[in-house]
């Protein structure tokens, strides 16, 4: 199946319906479960996160913080072979973001987002996917509604209050399943013992209502985890490819790897199309990503459905072009942090950009941010992927780049 493109290649502009615009700005309350630990979300992350997929927006209208698309950031995207957003509006504060969203909605445009939008911008007639449908599909309870039974994990449903009655007999993942945003495993806890379960129950009881649903999912050991991307359109589903997920701990995603020589089973593709078709019949449109485990026996088990752009969406869209430009066949996630400004840091990376070994997905300038929000913690961010000949080389290159940007 061919994949839609625009003048700059494969971008989100060719994948979302005409009349859609994108803004990822949300609230601290919504983002509370996008973390591995409660209470550590820095304010600036609310404005850095909406800058994701800068290089693959194409002509899709895009609203992001001014600190994500500074002149230095735009020049660097071009250095890396990415055009950047062609139709971008910037905001400087939460209220400014709200005003920009409302202005777009007043023209009849529909908002697409990552994790929900700002209060006052959430009327269904201004959203690509109505909130009730969005919450229904993204809840972990929906798995059984959308996935064929033979591809479901062994799981059972309880509540926060009911966690105290569980007696684990094998390692499991405890997953918050209520109407809360989560990403990267922020609402997933690994449970290998009764001691683990007691600690998880105490945390969930402190953070969630007693009746909030919880999924207890038995661990499947020695599996390869794939994240498959799709674009759900009016008449068809576009399969965007898949990347292998990497983890810092059980259930805690640390990024993605895409290797041109490493392909998931064809069943991952087939299941993605089937799941997306069921979601389309309910009224979904836009980008989605599905986490699937491939067991030692080749069985495919679907463990999570995300009906929104994923951490790997930009990678799937940019990979073919980046591989051709760099001559490299593997990409691995990159997360760089610096106390210096993008204007100071990015020239140090220009030679790597010229070689085509960087795919920036999110750029954020702490200096620019501080001009509008002074006296707050903020770091300059360069998130994306590195291209390399092997995963070992990619890890080494990422470490080298962090040393370079961490300097004064």
For the stretch 119-146, pLDDT in tens is 999 999 999 999 999 999 998 888 999 9
d(CA 30, CA 36): 15
How many CB atoms lie under 10 A from the CB of residue 137?
21
The pLDDT score that the predictor gives to residue 407 is 78
For the chain, domains (ranges, CATH) are: 154-218 (3.30.1490.20)
Strands of the 188-191 sheet, one edge to the other = 155-159, 213-218, 172-176, 188-191
For the stretch 74-84, pLDDT in tens is 999 999 999 88
**Phi, psi at 18, each rounded to 5°:** -55, 140
Q: Which residues of 193-222 are buried (b: 16+ CB within 10 A; e: fewer)?
A: eeebbeebbebbeebbeeebbbbbbebbee
pLDDT over threshold 60, residue 9: no
pLDDT over threshold 70, residue 35: no
Structural tokens at position 275: 């799941």
For the stretch 48-63, pLDDT in tens is 999 999 999 999 999 9
Strands of the 286-294 sheet, one edge to the other = 300-306, 286-294, 224-232, 237-249, 252-259, 330-338, 380-388, 358-364
Helix or strand or coil: residue 329? Answer: coil
Of residues 179 and 338, the one with the higher pLDDT is: 338
The pLDDT score that the predictor gives to residue 319 is 95
The pLDDT score that the predictor gives to residue 252 is 84
d(CA 183, CA 36): 9
How many CB atoms lie under 10 A from the CB of residue 389?
12
pLDDT over threshold 90, residue 260: yes
For the stretch 306-346, pLDDT in tens is 999 998 999 999 999 999 999 999 999 999 999 999 999 99
Give percent above pLDDT 90 in the chain: 81
pLDDT over threshold 70, residue 2: no
Average pLDDT, the chain: 92
pLDDT over threshold 60, residue 104: yes
| CB-CB contact of 343 with 337 (8 Å) | no
d(CA 373, CA 48): 13
d(CA 51, CA 361): 8
What is the separation of C-alpha 303 from the centre of its chain, rounded to a whole number of angstroms? 16
Q: How many residues does the chain have?
A: 408
For the stretch 343-398, pLDDT in tens is 999 999 999 999 999 999 999 999 999 998 888 889 999 999 999 999 999 999 99
For the stretch 13-31, pLDDT in tens is 989 999 999 999 999 888 8
> What confidence category does residue 39 fall into, taking pLDDT thresholds of 50, 70 and 90?
low
| CB-CB contact of 245 with 253 (8 Å) | yes
| CB-CB contact of 60 with 10 (8 Å) | no
Give percent above pLDDT 70 in the chain: 96
Give the sign of the dihedral formed by CA 71, CA 80, CA 56, CA 29: negative
Of residues 10 and 38, the one with the higher pLDDT is: 10
Alpha helices in 208-255 (DSSP H): none
């Amino acid at each position: 199946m061919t994949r839609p493109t625009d003048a700059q290649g494969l971008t989100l502009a060719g994948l979302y319906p005409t009349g859609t615009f994108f803004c990822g700005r949300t609230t601290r309350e919504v983002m509370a479960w996008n973390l591995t630990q409660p209470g550590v979300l820095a304010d600036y992350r609310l404005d850095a996160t909406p800058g994701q997929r800068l290089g693959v927006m194409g002509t899709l209208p895009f609203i992001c913080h001014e600190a994500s698309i500074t002149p230095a950031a735009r020049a660097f995207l071009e250095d890396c072979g990415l055009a950047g957003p062609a139709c971008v509006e910037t905001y400087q504060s939460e209220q400014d973001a709200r005003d920009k969203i409302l202005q777009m909605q007043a023209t009849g445009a529909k908002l697409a987002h990552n994790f929900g939008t700002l209060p006052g911008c959430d009327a269904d007639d201004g959203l690509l996917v109505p909130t009730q449908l969005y919450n229904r599909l993204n809840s972990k309870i929906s798995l059984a509604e959308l996935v064929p039974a033979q591809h479901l994990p062994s799981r059972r449903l309880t509540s926060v209050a009911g966690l105290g009655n569980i007696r684990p007999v094998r390692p499991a993942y405890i997953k918050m399943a209520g109407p809360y945003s989560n990403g990267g495993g922020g609402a997933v806890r690994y449970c290998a013992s009764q001691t683990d379960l007691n600690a998880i129950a105490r945390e969930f009881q402190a953070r969630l209502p007693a009746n909030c649903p919880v999924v207890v999912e038995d661990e499947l050991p020695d599996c390869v985890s794939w994240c498959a991307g799709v674009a759900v359109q009016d008449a068809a589903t576009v399969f965007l490819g898949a990347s292998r997920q990497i983890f810092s701990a059980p259930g805690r995603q640390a990024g993605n790897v895409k290797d041109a020589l490493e392909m998931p089973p064809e069943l991952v593709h087939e299941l993605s199309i089937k799941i997306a078709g069921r979601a389309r019949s309910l009224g979904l449109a836009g980008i989605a990503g599905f986490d699937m485990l491939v067991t030692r026996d080749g069985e495919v088990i679907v463990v999570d459905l995300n009906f929104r752009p994923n951490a790997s969406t930009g990678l799937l869209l940019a990979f073919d072009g980046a591989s051709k430009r760099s001559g490299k066949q593997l990409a691995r996630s990159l997360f760089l942090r610096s106390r210096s400004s993008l204007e100071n840091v990015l020239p140090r990376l220009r030679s790597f950009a010229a070689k085509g070994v960087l795919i920036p997905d999110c750029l954020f300038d702490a200096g620019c941010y501080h001009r509008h929000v002074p006296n707050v913690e903020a770091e300059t961010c360069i998130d994306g992927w590195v291209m390399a000949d092997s995963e070992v080389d990619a890890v080494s290159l990422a470490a080298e780049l962090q040393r370079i940007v961490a300097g004064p």
